[in-house]
Amino acid sequence: MPTQPIKDLETFPNPSTQRDYQIHMEIPEFTCLCPKTGQPDFATLVLDYIPDKKCIELKSLKLYIWSYRDKGAFHEAVTNQMLDDLVTVLKPRYIRLIARFYVRGGIFTNVTAEHRKKGWKPQPVVMLQEFDEQSNMR
């Protein structure tokens, strides 16, 4: 098992290429350094994607995220760089990365970056009614 962060993102074949399905991940322990002060910045990353032929392998994603711990990066730059790296290896139908940085100087920063595969169109959303035990419907 690696004891050092690495930039290599590994993938595995999508087991259900015949359909669109969403993979949702929340990564609450992202850290990097402020390029101006060298102080640590902390964020929760929210990654949602619809795979095409490949899915991301979680251990490699964890080590990749860890590789930013000692790097100076502006919030906007690091979010877009991570998205670019994920798009390069996954070539997903759709991917969105939200970086929710914790307060620094009284300011919370959220950066959202997304990518759509050329020609991909999402399926319409189906809204189902939820069952409520008291009224039998919601």
Active site residues: 34, 41
Give whole-number Cα distances, 68 to 26, 33, 34, 96, 108, in Å: 17, 8, 11, 19, 20
Look at the block and give the residue holding tokens 């910045």.
Answer: 41
- Residue 35 to residue 99: CA distance in whole angstroms: 17
Type of residue numbered 2: P
| Cα dihedral 108, 39, 24, 51 sign | positive
